[in-house]
Structures are given as structure tokens and as C-alpha cells.
Structure 1
Amino acid sequence: MSKTKKRLPQWQQNLRILWFGCFMVGIGFSLITPFMSLYIDSLGKYTTTQLNLWSGVTFSSTFLVTAIVSPMWGKLADKKGRKLMLMRASLGMAIVIALMGLVTNVYQLVALRFLQGVFSGYISNSNALIATQTPVEHSGQALGTLTTGSVTGTLLGPLLGGIVATAFGYRVTFFITGSVLFLVFFLTVFGVHEKFTPIARDAQQSMRTLFSELKHPEVIIGMFVTTLIVQASNNSINPILSLYVRQLVGHTSSLNIISGVIASIPGIATLIAAPRFGALGDRIGTQKILFFGLLLGLLVYFPQAFVQNVWQLGILRFFVGIVDAALLPQVQTLLAKNAPHEVTGRIFSYNQSFQATGNVIGPMLGSVVSGGFGYSGVFISSTILVFINLIWVRFSTREIN
């Protein structure tokens, strides 16, 4: 009997490693959620208004830079290959996040968060690599699976961050995350393989020319804007989450863990629901799943403004995860199905730019609204954003219904 084990196709090997990489990058971006405002509070003496403001700035700074530099990295990826961009992003983030554990004031922390944005692009280039290297008949499934990695990492990160911060302190959390991202770098170097043929400079189309030749340019643009609004809605609560939980449960030694659990509950629902929504979308239409997710979002965000205890908040956050499962993977799938392979890097990088813009707007919106209208006002403003997104998706996908 042969002991030879059948080797997985290269695209499946890439998918496994990149799933883990995206999962860890998602954690790296989100593990600070339950304690960032508390970490900032430990770096100086601030009023409530100052603390809310600094929390918003710290959250948003990374994504502000990401929104600016993503198109540049996407263009370079189409010239030099996506693997090189993956290596750049993972190594850079490993160093920068580890350094965050050494800061002595909020200005240093904000500066490192800015620098973290420069080393963005791991998730967008993972999507681009999988979209171009995977057989067409498996691309939807592969992209859906890859998306669950980043989404789940982003949503479970706060739980891990809360647990590690409680057990070892805030600073050790950054050191551990940096170490794991070093592992992602080495796995990417030795485990990810890309068959890449550079496109000659004179053969590259401008984005304006490209969009004029797309069959459904309104779908691509629509998904960009949808990504922005989804991220703004999801992240508006991040700067004040631990403060909102503290308002519900009072001062307790378990605040970090409780905040982490509340922030991470959506990840459990997303991990369970996303593959099922992806398969259902293949049968009845991806855009229909997207529309359903937005309708459900209206029913989920608004009640969070009026919860009386942390259990009610936790239940509603679970349904937020189902909403995310119906939204984020479907956006990636629609982009992949409507973008030519030779410009996939740029398409996904532009989408990351819009995603980062949403990540900037969301925390800043949460900080400003919570300062003027209280924490409940943040959820009401998010509900308004979801309603706007619902109308926008209905308009932008009408040609493929």
C-alpha cells in the first residue's frame, strides 16, 4: 500500500497559508479594540472628551494612511507580483506592532499607527493572488473562504486582545502579535508560490480607460462605496466599545475580557454563516445576499442604542456577525467576477482604499457622535449609514439582477 500522500494543488496550498495570514493580519488590526482607549488612558491624564478624541484619532490614523497608499501598492503589485507585496506588508506590520508595546505617550502610539498604514496591503494582495491563481470554477469558493479569514480575525481579535491584556498586560499583547506576524512573513516567503507574468509598462491601461471598458463599471464602483459604508458602520463603535461596556457593567476587573467577548461575538457568527451565504449566493445571486444583509443590518444596529445590559448587547452583536457574513464576502466575490485578471491587484487595492476610508470615517464618527449625543447615538448613526447603503446597493447592482 502506497504511503505517498496526494499533494494539494498549488492554489489550495496558497489558500491555506494566506487564510492564516489574513486571519492574523485581521487580529493585528483589531486586537487593540477592547483596550485601546484604556491603553491611551494609561499613557497620561485625560478628560472623557479628550480620551474619546484620542481614541478616535488612534484608531483612524492607520486607515487614513492605508487609504492614501493602497492604490500605489496595487499598481506596484500588478507590475512586480503580489507575493512581494505580501512579504512587505507582513514584515512591516510585525515590526511596527511590536514597537507599539514600547511607547511612552500617545503621540508615539499615533505615529506608529500611521506607520502601520504604510505597510498595509496583505489582505488585498491575498485576494488578488487567489483571484488570479485559482481555477475559475473554484474562484468564488476560494475567495469566500479567504474572506472569512480576514473577517474572522478582525472580529475575534478583540477577544484574544482582551484575554492577553488581562493576563499579561497591554504591552505584551503587542509583542505577541508582532511575533505571530513574523511567522506569517516566513510562511509567506516559503509557502506561497505565484506564477506571475509582469505586464509591460506600455501595455498597462489607465484606470479611467479600464473602467470605460468594463461590462458593469457601476458594479465595481458600487462595491467600492458599499465597502466604505460597511466598514464605517462596523467600526463606528470601536473607539467607545470598552467605555460603553463599562457603562453597562460598571467598573470590574473583568472589563477587558467582557469587552473582548462583546467585540468578538460577531466573529463566531460570521465564521459559521459566511460559507453558507457564499454557496447560497452562487445559486440565487450574490447581490441578493448582499441586499438581505443590509435589510437585516437595519434591524440589528438600531436596537443596540437602547440595551439595558451587556447580555442584550451580546445577542445583538451576534446578529451583527450574520450581517457581516452576508456583506463582506459578497462584495469580494462581485469584484472578482467583474474585474479582468490583469488589473485585479489595482481593483482590490482600490477596494482596500475605500475600506480604509470607511475605517477612518467610522471611528471618527463614533468619537464625535458619542461626544455630542452619547454612546447610543453611535448606533443610531450607524443605522442611518446602513439605510443609505441599502439604497446604494439596490441602485448599483440593478443591471445584474
Structure 2
Amino acid sequence: MPIWKRNLIVCWFGMLVSSVGMSQIAPVLPLYIRHLGVHSPALIAQISGIAFGATYIISAVFSPVWGNAADKYGRKLMILRASLGMGIVIGCMGFAQNVYELIGLRVLQGVITGYGSACTALIATQTDKEHAGFALGTLSTASTAGSLLGPMIGGYMEENFGLQNVFFITGALLMISFIATALFVKESFTRQDKKVLSGKEIWNNIPYKSLTIMLFVTFFVLMIALYSIEPIITVFVTQISLNTGHVALFAGMAFSASGLASIIAAPRLGKISDKIGAQKVILVALVVAGLLFIPQAFVKNPWQLMVLRFLLGLATAGLIPSVNTLLKKITPDSLTGRVFGFTMSAGYLGVFGGSILGGQVAAYLGIRYVFFITSALLLINAVWVYFKVYKKLSLKIEGN
């Protein structure tokens, strides 16, 4: 088996588990906080929001730091660090004695992050050009699917194995990822003992600055779109369900449908982006995804919502690998880890921002406006991509 394929398999499993570890706690948190002695519904909701959001905000801050370390010391080393650290920290959450310890461990989890950016940088730099789109597309399915399927997986584990075992099982899977990385991942990396570049110096060494910003924004908007429905999905499914006996199940299925579609479509769209150009895939995916949000506001039952969410996943599956493929093309190898670190920061902020946006829009304007506003964000981003990327990129990038 080629080395790049073996690296991809190990990194795919690790990114899936780490993404699940970040997101699976969402349905478990309120129950675990009650288990830790908090009984006021309002206080449980408040602490749950703090504990869930803290990891993503701190991760957004530290992802570029670990991206810088990956460029300096090697991407495999950063994968080992993140998988070992997250495995220990998530496992320790099962031993938390109070909510302060839980929140502290969630913050520490955010500090230790960097697994996704290190894996992406490793695959981007160690895979030959003709397979880069496929490899990055396949890798992106792990991150997206793990994030979107995580809440359903967490709920399933809690129901069948118990609250504390959710953390123990996830921690054990990350330890398996650590061992697999140590044994099977190979990286051709030569450390360059150069002075640490400042943020300004890094920025000056990026050839296509406006395009890089555009890709960061696109990744941010995509995460907002995927997660804007999360805080309102259960309430919305309740409103459109005739049988309210399976609301939680239907809500989990509707939210996770796009993740399942991404697993199916992302590798294929990654191959297509290799052939026709990633900028074309990004533009089409943004337009289709933006349009698919509109009918979601008018569904009459959960099954219609699930179908539309699945179709949305097929569209958005092309965005992450295409963004990563373009970043690989326009970024010097010496800066790959740092640039992908900033990309992950944009993604974490998008997850947090999407959750906030969905909740606030639903509270002030109504649930259906969440879909309209998210659609508008994607379509505005598509117009921006058309004028700033699509029309100019062929001349600037394809010739390289």
C-alpha cells in the first residue's frame, strides 16, 4: 500500500474520533451536569453553553499556535501530541467531581487541540499532486462527519453505556489513534532551524493574500451554515412532527443527515476538483447549498427535512476538500501547518458563531428565519467567490 494511503487511513480514523470527541458531549452535557449536582434547569442550560462553547473558542486561539509548531517540528509529532493529550483529557472528564473540573477540562481540551490542522497539513504535504484532491476530500469526511454525527453518537453511548463511559470510550479510541499514528504514519520532514516568524512575517510570505482570506471566510461561513440549525433542530422537529414520541431521534437524524451525505460525496467531489478546478466546485457548492436552505423552512414533516439535509450534505461535501486543495496550491510548504491552523480556527469560530446565530435568530425572528438568513450568507459568499476567485483564479493558479 502506498505511504500516502496508509497515512490517510490512520489520519481519517483519528480525525473522525477527535471530531466526535469535540461534539459528542452536546447531548450529554446537561445530563452530566445534573449528575454532578446542578439541578436548576436554567443553571444547567447556562453551564452547558459555557462548557460546550469554551472548547471551540479556545481551540480557535490555539490552532495557529500548534500549526506553527507543526511546521517547525513535524506534523506527525503534533498528531501524536494532540491524540495523546485529548485521549487523556477526555478520559479524565469521566472522573470530574464538579462542574468546575468539567469546564476546566473542556478548556484544556481546547488548548491541546490541533489534531485536525496537523492531519490536514500532513496529508497535503505528503500526498502527490494527482491524488491530493481525493486525499483531502476523503480526510474532510472524517472531520465533517465526526462533528455532525458526534451528538447522535454521544447520545447513543450515554443511553447504552452510561454517562461516564461516554468519556472513557472516546478517550480509549483516541489512545488507539495515538498508537496507530506512532506505528504506521510516515512523514518525510526535515526540520529547518530558522527563527520564529512573527504573524506579520508569515503574512508577508503568503503569495495570494486576498485568496487566502477568501478561503478562510468561506470555511467560516460553511461552518456557520452547518451549525446554525443545531440549537433549534429539536424545537423545529417538535413543531413539524405529528408523533412527538420520537422527537429526539428524528432531530438527531435530521442534524446528522448532512454528515452521512458528506461521507459519501466528499471523496468523489475531491476527485472532480482535481480535474475541473477547485474554484468551480466551491462556487457551485455554495450556490446549491444556499438554495437548499430555503425549502427547509417550509417542510411539513421530519422526513422532508432529513432529505433536504442529506442533499445539503452532498453539496457542502465539496467545499472543505476544495478549500484545502486551493490552500495547498497557493501556500508554501514551510507555512502549510500555520495556514491550516488558521483555517481550523475559522472553522471553530464558525461552529460557535453558527450555534449563537441560530439560537438568537430563532428567539427574535422565528425558527424559519434561521434557514433564510443562512441561505443569504451562503449566496452572498458565492457572489464574492465568483468575482474575487472564480474569474481570476485560472490565470493566477492553474498555470503554476
| TM-score, structure 2 normalization | 0.88
Q: Structure 2: where are the runs of 5+ without partners?
A: 395-400
Q: Aligned partners of 2:212, 2:371: CA distance in 1, in Å? A: 28
Corresponding position of 1:358: 350
CA contact (8 A) 1:162 1:256 kept: no
Provide, for residues 286-341 of structure 1, a one-character-per-residue CA deviation record: whole Å limited to 9, x for no partner.
Answer: 11111111111222223323333211221111122112212111111111111111
CA contact (8 A) 1:22 1:122 kept: yes
SS at 2:289's partner residue? helix
Aligned CA RMSD, in angstroms, stands at: 2.6
CA contact (8 A) 2:297 2:369 kept: yes
Corresponding position of 1:119: 112
The correspondence for 2:41, drawn from 46, 61, 74, is 46
Cα distance 1:324–1:169, how it changes in 2: closer, same or farther (>3 A)? farther
Provide, for residues 338-396 of structure 1, a one-character-per-residue CA deviation record: whole Å limited to 9, x for no partner.
Answer: 11111111111111111111122111222322332343333233223213322332243
Say if 2:60 is the partner of 1:67. yes
Q: Aligned partners of 1:34, 1:324: CA distance in 2, in Å? A: 24
Corresponding position of 1:167: 160
1:227 Cα deviation (Å)?
A: 1.0
Query: 1:266 is aligned with what amino acid?
Result: S
The correspondence for 1:157, drawn from 150, 166, 186, is 150
Cα distance 1:240–1:90, how it changes in 2: closer, same or farther (>3 A)? farther
**Which deviates the most, 157-166 or 17-26?**
157-166
Q: Structure 1: where are the runs of 5+ without partners?
A: 1-7
Q: Aligned partners of 2:255, 2:283: CA distance in 1, in Å? A: 24
Q: Aligned partners of 1:262, 1:166: CA distance in 2, in Å? A: 19
Corresponding position of 2:237: 245
SS at 1:111's partner residue? helix
Q: Aligned partners of 1:224, 1:371: CA distance in 2, in Å? A: 29
Q: Aligned partners of 2:54, 2:373: CA distance in 1, in Å? A: 21
Say if 2:135 is the partner of 1:133. no
Matches within 5 A, 1:265-276: 265-276=257-268
Say if 2:342 is the partner of 1:342. no
**Which deviates the most, 374-383 or 325-334?**
374-383
1:40 Cα deviation (Å)?
A: 5.3
CA contact (8 A) 2:6 2:185 kept: yes
**Which deviates the most, 35-44 or 309-318?**
35-44
CA contact (8 A) 2:25 2:52 kept: no
The correspondence for 1:88, drawn from 68, 81, 88, is 81
Say if 2:316 is the partner of 1:324. yes
Corresponding position of 1:180: 173
1:238 Cα deviation (Å)?
A: 2.1
Q: Aligned partners of 1:292, 1:243: CA distance in 2, in Å? A: 31
1:96 Cα deviation (Å)?
A: 2.4
Corresponding position of 1:230: 222
State the identity %.
Answer: 42
Cα distance 1:191–1:207, how it changes in 2: closer, same or farther (>3 A)? same
Provide, for residues 24-55 of structure 1, a one-character-per-residue CA deviation record: whole Å limited to 9, x for no partner.
Answer: 112222223455456557743224xx666555
Q: Aligned partners of 1:14, 1:241: CA distance in 2, in Å? A: 36
Cα distance 1:165–1:259, how it changes in 2: closer, same or farther (>3 A)? farther
1:254 Cα deviation (Å)?
A: 4.3
Cα distance 1:309–1:172, how it changes in 2: closer, same or farther (>3 A)? farther
Say if 2:184 is the partner of 1:195. no
Say if 2:12 is the partner of 1:22. no
Q: Aligned partners of 2:128, 2:359: CA distance in 1, in Å? A: 44
Cα distance 1:135–1:230, how it changes in 2: closer, same or farther (>3 A)? same
Provide, for residues 89-110 of structure 1, a one-character-per-residue CA deviation record: whole Å limited to 9, x for no partner.
Answer: 1122222223334446655443
Q: Aligned partners of 2:221, 2:98: CA distance in 1, in Å? A: 32
CA contact (8 A) 1:270 1:325 kept: yes
Q: Aligned partners of 1:386, 1:257: CA distance in 2, in Å? A: 28
**Which deviates the most, 99-108 or 123-132?**
99-108
Cα distance 1:158–1:142, how it changes in 2: closer, same or farther (>3 A)? same
Query: 2:342 is aligned with what amino acid?
Result: Y
CA contact (8 A) 2:66 2:78 kept: yes
Aligned length: 391
Q: Aligned partners of 2:71, 2:20: CA distance in 1, in Å? A: 27
CA contact (8 A) 2:133 2:273 kept: no
Provide, for residues 259-283 of structure 1, a one-character-per-residue CA deviation record: whole Å limited to 9, x for no partner.
Answer: 3322221122112211222222222
Cα distance 1:242–1:98, how it changes in 2: closer, same or farther (>3 A)? farther
Corresponding position of 1:5: none
Cα distance 1:127–1:352, how it changes in 2: closer, same or farther (>3 A)? same
SS at 2:41's partner residue? coil
Corresponding position of 1:4: none
**Which deviates the most, 383-392 or 112-121?**
383-392
SS at 2:113's partner residue? coil
Q: Aligned partners of 1:118, 1:359: CA distance in 2, in Å? A: 17
Q: Aligned partners of 2:243, 2:95: CA distance in 1, in Å? A: 27
